[in-house]
Amino acid sequence: MQPEKSFPVSWDMFHRDARALAWRLAAIGGFSAIVAVTRGGLVPAGIVARELGVRVIETVCVASYTDETERGRIEVLKPLTDAILSRPSAEVLIIDDLVDTGATAKAVRDMLPKAHFATVYAKPQGLPMVDTFVTEVSQDTWIYFPWDTGLSFQAPIHAPARRTRRG
């Protein structure tokens, strides 16, 4: 099923939003490690880690999409390491680019139930799974991240019919 709306995100916009997430997280403080949910969480985790001065970054690899728009079952491709699991989970910050239905977030949250979960973008169904986010988009919107797209013309939402000039 194709989403009704699209929300293209440029590199500049994503960097600005990820830094805004870091500002919100800096106000909370106390994080000694970051877990990036791959693949989407890699870029914002790097930006947030830089802004907060966190050097310990771990990944958890979770697959939930079978293709671009179809969701499949949740599969943990790479679990968390003992080094992260042995830390006080309240000091661990989980970062992802987006929470959609919340299924991926729930799988990761089950691994670290007391960790702080933050995303750059959030959809209504996934909101209960995150503690901090920057921008909410509607559930029927597909976000096109800058690493998923190239530069090309985008048709306007409503384009009136063009009149040709004859003469």
Please tell me the distance from the alpha carbon of residue 21 to that of residue 119, in angstroms, as a whole number: 8
Q: Is 96 annotated as a binding residue?
A: yes
Enzyme catalytic residues: 96-97, 100
DSSP string, 50-68: HHHT---EEEEEEEEESSS
Known binding residue 72? Answer is no
Determine if residue 41 is labeled as part of a ligand binding site: no
Q: Is 102 annotated as a binding residue?
A: yes
67 is in an annotated binding site: no
Cβ(99)–Cβ(127) below 8 Å = yes
Q: How far is CA 89 from CA 12, 74, 115, in A?
A: 32, 22, 5
Is 60 flagged in the annotation as binding? Answer: no
The residue to which tokens 């661990």 are assigned = 92
For the annotated binding site for Mg(2+), the residues are 97
For the annotated binding site, the residues are 39-40, 96-104, 142-143
For the annotated binding site for 5-phospho-alpha-D-ribose 1-diphosphate, the residues are 39-40, 96-104
For the annotated binding site for xanthine, the residues are 100, 143
